């Protein structure tokens, strides 16, 4: 129907707008732990031994996974003892990390790069002082101004994620 179609056009436009700053936003709270996701999704299969590099906005070493093992030596002092990954998930391409006891200054973008596989993801972490109701996944501010419907925003966020995953 006509309505459906214009809805689809709007959604595509939103996806396009969002993809300009295609970023996953994760929300955390001071003192709590948060998982920063990084799921390898290229078609090329991963080698047996994978290296993955996590960096923060100032290019500090958050965590290096070198040939399937966490390198504690290279880790920046800011993240020492606070960041770990899930080795049992590596073979599924899941290189997510957990940051423990969040600090206010942990907020910002984080990059996850899978070495030699041309794969990089940016996760933006927002750290709030205290817990309240909120969604852990929000579209970038531009998307919110375009639509006033929460439903459409959620749909756009979902599609953005899908879009992120296939590109
Ligand atoms: C990746 O691993 C983490 C930790 O086990 C888990 O919470 C998350 O759901 C996993 N993600 C996927 C897509 O498997």
> How many angstroms separate the CA atoms of 37 and 56, rounded?
14
pLDDT for residue 23: 73
pLDDT for residue 2: 47
pLDDT for residue 130: 72
Residue 17 pLDDT more than 70?
no
Rounded mean pLDDT, 5-30 = 64
Strands 61-66 and 52-55, how do they pair?
antiparallel
Answer yes or no: are the C-beta atoms of 140 and 122 closer than 8 Å: no
Q: How far is the CA of 29 from the centre of ligand 1 (A)?
A: 20
Q: What is the pLDDT of residues 81-126, one digit of tens each?
A: 999 999 999 999 999 999 999 999 999 999 999 999 999 999 999 9
Ligand 1: which atom is nearest the Cα of residue 98?
4
Give yes or no for residue 84 CB within 6 A of ligand 1: no
Q: How far is the CA of 37 from the centre of ligand 1 (A)?
A: 7
Give yes or no for residue 41 CB within 6 A of ligand 1: no
């Amino acid at each position: 129907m006509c309505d459906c179609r214009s809805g689809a056009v709007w959604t595509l436009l939103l996806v396009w707008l969002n993809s300009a700053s295609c970023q996953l936003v994760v929300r955390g709270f001071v003192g709590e732990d948060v998982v920063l996701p990084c799921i390898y999704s290229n078609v090329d299969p991963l080698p047996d031994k994978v290296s993955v590099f996590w960096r923060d906005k100032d290019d500090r070493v958050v965590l290096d996974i070198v040939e399937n093992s966490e390198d504690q030596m290279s880790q920046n002092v800011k993240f020492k003892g606070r960041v770990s990954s899930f080795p049992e998930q590596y073979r599924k391409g899941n290189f997510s990390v957990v940051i423990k006891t969040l600090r206010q200054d942990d907020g910002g973008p984080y990059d996850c790069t899978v070495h030699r596989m041309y794969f990089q993801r940016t996760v933006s972490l927002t750290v709030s002082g205290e817990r309240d109701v909120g969604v852990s996944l929000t579209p970038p501010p531009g998307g919110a101004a375009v639509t006033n419907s929460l439903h459409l925003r959620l749909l756009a966020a979902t599609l953005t994620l899908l879009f992120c995953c296939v590109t």
